[in-house]
Structure 1
Amino acid sequence: MKRLSFKDAAIKILKEAEEPLSAKEITQIALSEELIETSGATPEATMAAQLYTDTGKFKKVGKGLFALIKQTESANSPLLAIENQNSLVKQKLIRKIQEMDPFQFEFLVAELLRKIGYEKVEVTKRSGDKGIDVTGNLTVGGLTNVKTVIQVKRYKTGNNISGKYITQLRGSAEVDQRGLIITTSNFTKDAMNEAKATNKMPVALVNGQKLIDLLFKYKVGVKESIVSVFSIDSELFESELNDSTIKGSENKSRSIWPLPGGVYSYVQTLNQLLDQISQNLNSRENMVDWFIKSYDNVSSIKTANGYLNVPKNMGLIDFKDGNCILTIAGEEYHKKKDLEFLFETVSSNILAFKEIHQFLLSSDEAKADQEILEYVNENFDVNWSTLAQVNFRLLWLINIGKVEKTEEGYRGK
């Protein structure tokens, strides 16, 4: 019988297999069926080398298991079906990220950095950030504290990051800081060379593929079921773009989102939005156009429509016959610009809004956002896996003047 090469033997065995196999299992079958002949002491290592390096024929499925590329397309086994599902979700995830609001993307990255182990992670102000979108500290072994400035670029595939962004980030950083650039696309060759340049501040690079892998690893933006099939986490990506909204057990909206203009400009943007509506420039089309023309980071109709639902969920506006109209509460707030009234109105319509404020007021110590998340999950009809909705509530409370952020955490006012 003519012996086969290790690669051809692996192809033959995997074609006949019902499940993905490990390099050791493939080698044992090949030897028992006398498909290969070897004098080496470690044929499993030789087989593994073929499986890991020939990515045109073989695909790694699960931990140490392999299947043929064509098999993963046909999904003849549960493991392959799971692999296909996860691959589809990865493709959908990168599309979701590329469509989401740039500011929300910064919060997504901040959440990822926290999960990785960064401390004191903060999204910077929208204006005057000098190219720095997020900051954080990475402590290694309790000994070294690496202060990091992070720039995020939500770019379409093919729109690669050039070396000028590396230079820009270095110019914005302080002496004791390190740089990190995260993009949904990739980096040009000169960017990769510049990031590794000697005698300059180190800048780490994370491209779109690495970003997706990290999001999956740390389960940010995705949820994992018992069988490890991933699905999109709507908590981070669904901005409630239609007129309906998900209500909690108290008939309040579960979601509150930012408005464009800057981290501490939510109220100002809200006031300008209500001004536009009160001036009868209030068709939905006009309001969408106003958002796009007024804010550089609002570039799509979908995103603008999402922002219109922010005051709707708050109980300040409604939609009627294709137009945006002020509610009774919206007219009252627009007339007086009373932040206490705004606080009470939002509290009446947004789940756990007033309660977070009361929680912070009743505490003798500042609370971390993670502690606030635990409080909300334990006391309300939610099971949030990320800090997104807690962070957005805290930012609105800061804008309204009900919460302050200190080095120790958040305090009620």
Structure 2
Amino acid sequence: MTLIDGNLLVELLAEHEIGVRRQSRPVLQLDEITLAGGSGGDDGEGGTGTSGRSPPGMYRSLWPLPGGNQTYRTALERLLPLAADQPTPTGFVRRLQHEFPQVESVATAKGYIRVLVALGFVTVNSGQISLTPDGREFVETQDIELVREALRTRIVGVKELVDELEHGTRTMEQLQQVLTDVGLAWETSAQLGWRLHWLESVGLVAAENGLYRLLPADRPNEL
């Protein structure tokens, strides 16, 4: 008696379509980036924000980067080169954790990838993280205006905050109302705070005694 490997037999039957019929089934792939905020009306705080869709190409939520509130620009200068050779998300996370040892959580590290996507500096496609043209330009020039423009044009509410501050100093409460007026409302002020920290980091806004003011265009680093 000759024993036949059952698994091999099934593979041969399937390969030659003997006694089997092929059927197509759709395969759905989870798009974590869209769910995290890209033109999809996320809240960025675990489900407590307003509903609705963002304008195409814009993000409702913005997060910090490792290193502290005033060092987001420096963090970008350290993070973006890690994507120069199109690593996998897992590979990028390992590099990020090596560059910032305080980032122990993989979930937190993936959140930082979403920040880079929201700003338009990287894309995540086909299992690879790639620099966009703007991302490559920032790596080469470290031009802070690229970050300012990304904040104004890709993050909902940032342009409105800057426009409001052109009229004078404002409190957090007044600026929170600006976001509410454009359809952004959360149970906490975290999203407003992160937007303001980003604007401070790129030299557009300064805070003093609970008041926020726009910095002169010709002196972006004034405190």
Calculate the TM-score normalised by the size of structure 1. Answer: 0.39
- Asked if 1:406 corresponds to 2:215, the answer is no
Structure 1 residues 108-257: aligned runs within 5 Å: 235-237=44-46, 247-249=53-55, 251-257=57-63
Residue 236 of structure 1 aligns to a residue in which SS?
coil
| Distance in 2 between residues matched to 1:325 and 1:401, nearest whole Å | 27
- Gaps spanning 5+ residues in structure 2: where? 1-41, 216-223
Match of 2:176? 373
CA contact 1:252–1:349 (8 Å) conserved in 2 = yes
Q: Which of 384, 387, 393 in structure 1 is aligned with 2:189?
A: 387
> 1:318 Cα shift?
0.3
Match of 1:92? none
Aligned residue pairs total 170
CA contact 2:123–2:129 (8 Å) conserved in 1 = yes
Change in CA separation of 1:404 and 1:315 when aligned onto 2, cut-off 3 Å: same
How far does the alpha carbon of each residue in 1:87-142 deviate from its partner, in whole angstroms, 9 at most, with x for none? xxxxxxxxxxxxxxxxxxxxxxxxxxxxxxxxxxxxxxxxxxxxxxxxxxxxxxxx
| Distance in 2 between residues matched to 1:234 and 1:381, nearest whole Å | 11
Q: Which of 283, 295, 314 in structure 1 is aligned with 2:88?
A: 283
Structure 1 residues 21-170: aligned runs within 5 Å: none
Q: Which has the higher strand share?
A: 1
Change in CA separation of 1:382 and 1:237 when aligned onto 2, cut-off 3 Å: same
CA contact 1:292–1:304 (8 Å) conserved in 2 = yes
Q: Which has the higher contact order (CA 8 A, sep 6+)?
A: 2
Change in CA separation of 1:408 and 1:309 when aligned onto 2, cut-off 3 Å: closer
Change in CA separation of 1:346 and 1:375 when aligned onto 2, cut-off 3 Å: closer
CA contact 1:352–1:376 (8 Å) conserved in 2 = yes
Q: Which of 39, 58, 65 in structure 2 is aligned with 1:259?
A: 65
Match of 2:97? 292
> 1:385 Cα shift?
2.7
> 1:267 Cα shift?
0.8
CA contact 2:80–2:131 (8 Å) conserved in 1 = yes
| Distance in 1 between residues matched to 2:53 and 2:71, nearest whole Å | 27
| Distance in 1 between residues matched to 2:203 and 2:191, nearest whole Å | 18
Match of 1:329? 134
| Distance in 2 between residues matched to 1:286 and 1:307, nearest whole Å | 14
Q: Which has the larger radius of gyration?
A: 1
> 1:356 Cα shift?
0.9
Change in CA separation of 1:256 and 1:404 when aligned onto 2, cut-off 3 Å: same
> 1:266 Cα shift?
0.8
Residue 410 of structure 1 aligns to a residue in which SS?
strand
Runs of 4+ in 1 over 6 A off after TM superposition: none
- Gaps spanning 5+ residues in structure 1: where? 1-232, 239-245
Structure 1 residues 347-358: aligned runs within 5 Å: 347-358=152-163
Calculate the TM-score normalised by the size of structure 2. Answer: 0.70
> 1:354 Cα shift?
2.1
How far does the alpha carbon of each residue in 1:269-307 deviate from its partner, in whole angstroms, 9 at most, with x for none? 1111111112x1622111111222332432121111111
| Distance in 2 between residues matched to 1:268 and 1:358, nearest whole Å | 26
How far does the alpha carbon of each residue in 1:363-384 deviate from its partner, in whole angstroms, 9 at most, with x for none? 2xx2111210111101x12232
- Asked if 1:340 corresponds to 2:149, the answer is no
Residue 213 of structure 2 aligns to a residue in which SS?
strand
| Distance in 2 between residues matched to 1:235 and 1:340, nearest whole Å | 25
